[in-house]
Amino acid sequence: MKVAVIGAAGYAGGELLRLVLQHPDVREVTATSRSLAGTPIAEHHPAMALLTDARFAAHAPAEAARGKDVVFLALEHGDSSKLMGSLIDSGPGMIIDLAADFRIHDGRLHEQHYGAHAAPALVHRFAYGLADVRGKELRGAQAIAAPGCFATAALLALYGLADLPLLAPPAIFAVTGSSGAGQAPTPTTHHPARANNMFAYAAMGHRHEGELLEQWRTWRQDPAAQARLMCHSGPFVRGIHVTLHAHVAEPVRDINARVAAQFARRPFVRVLDVPPQLTQVAGSNFALIHAAASADGREVQVMCVIDNLIKGAGGQAVQAMNLALGLDECAGLTAPGVFPC
Ligand SMILES: NC(=O)c1ccc[n+]([C@@H]2O[C@H](COP(=O)([O-])OP(=O)(O)OC[C@H]3O[C@@H](n4cnc5c(N)ncnc54)[C@H](OP(=O)(O)O)[C@@H]3O)[C@@H](O)[C@H]2O)c1
């Protein structure tokens, strides 16, 4: 296959590039960057020195997409919707967008979290690529919106509760590492502000709540279903840890076994007997989950950890591509994580 990665100099695009360069079915990769066009990829992503001696291409996105089997976009939010029309016209076999632009089909929900959409008529072409839940449903998709990193971890935790009667909307406490904010430092994201520190942000309305609610409402078959995402910055580079808490209307028993049964056939989700830790997934496409109930069965907690740049970005995008094309779902994604890291 011929693949293009647009925005390959960024953190998410870089991880995606590392994965597609090792994918057994990918024969040719074009990696674009505006600021680093002509620079050897391994100069910017030194860990890729063994994988490629190519340089970043200067191609405009539509030009890079022409003749490709799959095009991945890893651009800042809002950029992909501005260029999607011309990208589609250039005729690639499949488009996978890692930004938020095409994740939410409900126009009002999108606008509430992101403002006006630049290409609303194109949104319904995109399937939501939550690979570990949607699995073979993605077969044949030609346009996929890869879920956000917080949303991926939160939805994998929520999935086990989808058909339980609840007394109140679940609350999900989430902590992300600094790579979630991309490579350009800001006063709240660069090292002195993040190291040895932890803080909440986007209280009562993080953007990823939009896509989370759309999926949750579909699973619950309830257009008014609610859930609350509480996001925090943590003093580490990679990973997202979420803890979901919910009050159930009827006592539940064996919640962990129930969640394990739901994911039994999904290759990248492991349900553990103990709470998972971030370092167990860093560098891998795995999600680790553990669920527990209170002694009376009326309160439930579900913990989920992922690597935000792999399961939360590039890895899930490649998994969705594999599923959409009917390839081995695990192709190019079997590397285990690294510990210590
Ligand atoms: N970081 C994460 O954990 C994560 C997880 C899930 C999804 N995402 C999503 O992935 C996207 C990228 O995030 P990031 O964290 O990787 O940000 P980032 O590190 O800031 O990278 C964004 C990249 O986009 C490139 N770019 C922007 N416009 C371009 C264009 N027209 N043509 C070519 N390259 C262009 C920029 O490079 P040049 O200036 O050199 O072009 C930059 O390297 C965002 O939409 C984000 O929401 C990120």
* In the predicted structure, residue 277 carries a pLDDT above the cut 90: yes
- Looking at residue 341, its pLDDT comes to 81
User: Whose CA is closest to atom 1 on ligand 1?
Assistant: 180
pLDDT digits (tens, 9 = 90+) for 278-325: 999 999 999 999 999 999 999 999 999 999 999 999 999 999 999 999
- Looking at residue 196, its pLDDT comes to 94
Q: Does the CB atom of residue 76 touch ligand 1 within 6 A?
A: yes
**Closest atom of ligand 1 to CA, residue 176:** 3
pLDDT digits (tens, 9 = 90+) for 90-106: 999 999 999 999 999 99
Q: Which residues contact 74 (CB under 8 A, 6 or more apart)?
A: 5, 6, 7, 8, 10, 12, 13, 16, 98, 99, 313, 314
Quote the tokens at residue 297.
Answer: 């069965």
Mutate which of 45, 59, 73, 76 for ligand 1 pocket (most atoms within 8 A of beta carbon): 76
Q: What is the mean pLDDT of residues 163-190?
A: 95
Average pLDDT, the chain: 97
Q: Does the CB atom of residue 149 touch ligand 1 within 6 A?
A: yes
Q: Does the CB atom of residue 78 touch ligand 1 within 6 A?
A: no
**Closest atom of ligand 1 to CA, residue 99:** 45
Mutate which of 71, 75, 103, 208 for ligand 1 pocket (most atoms within 8 A of beta carbon): 75
Cα angle: 320, vertex 330, 242; to 5 degrees: 65
pLDDT digits (tens, 9 = 90+) for 239-251: 999 999 999 999 9
- Looking at residue 31, its pLDDT comes to 98
Q: Does the CB atom of residue 13 touch ligand 1 within 6 A?
A: yes
Question: Is 149 a residue of the active site?
Answer: yes
- Quick one: pLDDT band at residue 216, thresholds 50, 70, 90? very high
Least Cα distance to 9 among 70, 50, 54, 63 occurs for: 54
- Quick one: pLDDT band at residue 87, thresholds 50, 70, 90? very high
Q: Which residues contact 43 (CB under 8 A, 6 or more apart)?
A: none
Q: What is the mean pLDDT of residues 122-140?
A: 98
Q: Which residue ranges form the domains of the chain, and what is each CATH number?
A: 2-147+311-325 (3.40.50.720), 150-308 (3.30.360.10)
pLDDT digits (tens, 9 = 90+) for 252-263: 999 999 999 999
Q: Does the CB atom of residue 32 touch ligand 1 within 6 A?
A: yes
User: Whose CA is closest to atom 45 on ligand 1?
Assistant: 99
Q: What is the mean pLDDT of residues 69-84?
A: 97
pTM: 0.97
Rounded to whole angstroms, how far apart are CA atoms 91 and 89?
5
- Looking at residue 153, its pLDDT comes to 98
Least Cα distance to 25 among 69, 59, 61 occurs for: 69
